[in-house]
Amino acid sequence: MAHDEKIMELMNQLVYATKHDIGDLMAHKRIWTAGPSTINNSYKELNNQVDAGTLEKGGDYFKLRGAKGDHKEHSRLITAELIKILKLNYQTKIFRECLIEDVRLIPDAIIMTIDVDKVAVWILEVMHNETQEYFEMKLRTWENWPEAKDYLSKLFNIKVQSFNIINKAEEVNQ
């Protein structure tokens, strides 16, 4: 896979990222050697994607073309947690900050990890400025939504029998 394809695969998962985020993942995947050249290579490749019209640049970050919003503190925290999950080296599919019309909910990310023959689905809700009550409201919505597993099954095109709601990537390995 060419570097530009790998970078777009990562950006499609993260939606928002800095050159440091992409460089870190490219080094982790042993595509590039860690160090300053990794950051420079990432920056060059990300800018090439801006020129190609697939990414947009916003200050010190890049985002998928058409992604709404800025990469402020909460967004950066989500990206950091998603990077930790991507570094677990599972096959991973991520849907970030997508509106679920049926319950009017926008989870930070919905994630599927596959480790050989084990599949897990995770709802990531990074706690930043949210109150515990707000998080619990989101938790209850997922728990009380009878079609939640069907929605997730359609999203990932796989039968989802259960899912977990997490605040940090470390909870994926527990």
Domains of the chain, residue spans? 3-71, 90-173
Radius of gyration of the chain (CA): 17
DSSP element (H, E) containing 139: helix 132-144
Sign of the CA dihedral running 52, 57, 62, 63: negative
- Digit-by-digit pLDDT tens for the chain (174 residues) are 578 899 999 999 999 999 999 999 999 988 888 888 889 999 999 999 999 999 999 989 999 998 888 888 989 999 999 999 999 989 999 999 999 999 999 999 999 999 888 899 999 999 888 888 988 999 999 999 999 999 999 999 999 999 999 887 766 765
Q: Phi/psi of residue 30, each to 5°?
A: 60, 30
- In whole angstroms, give the CA distance from residue 41 to residue 47: 10
pLDDT for residue 174: 52
pLDDT for residue 116: 86
Nearest CA to 129 among 69, 63, 59, 78? 78
- In whole angstroms, give the CA distance from residue 62 to residue 51: 12
What is the CATH code of the structural domain delimited by 3-71? 1.10.10.10
pLDDT for residue 68: 84
pLDDT for residue 173: 64
pLDDT for residue 1: 52
- In whole angstroms, give the CA distance from residue 40 to residue 59: 16
Cα 43 to chain centroid distance, Å, stands at: 20
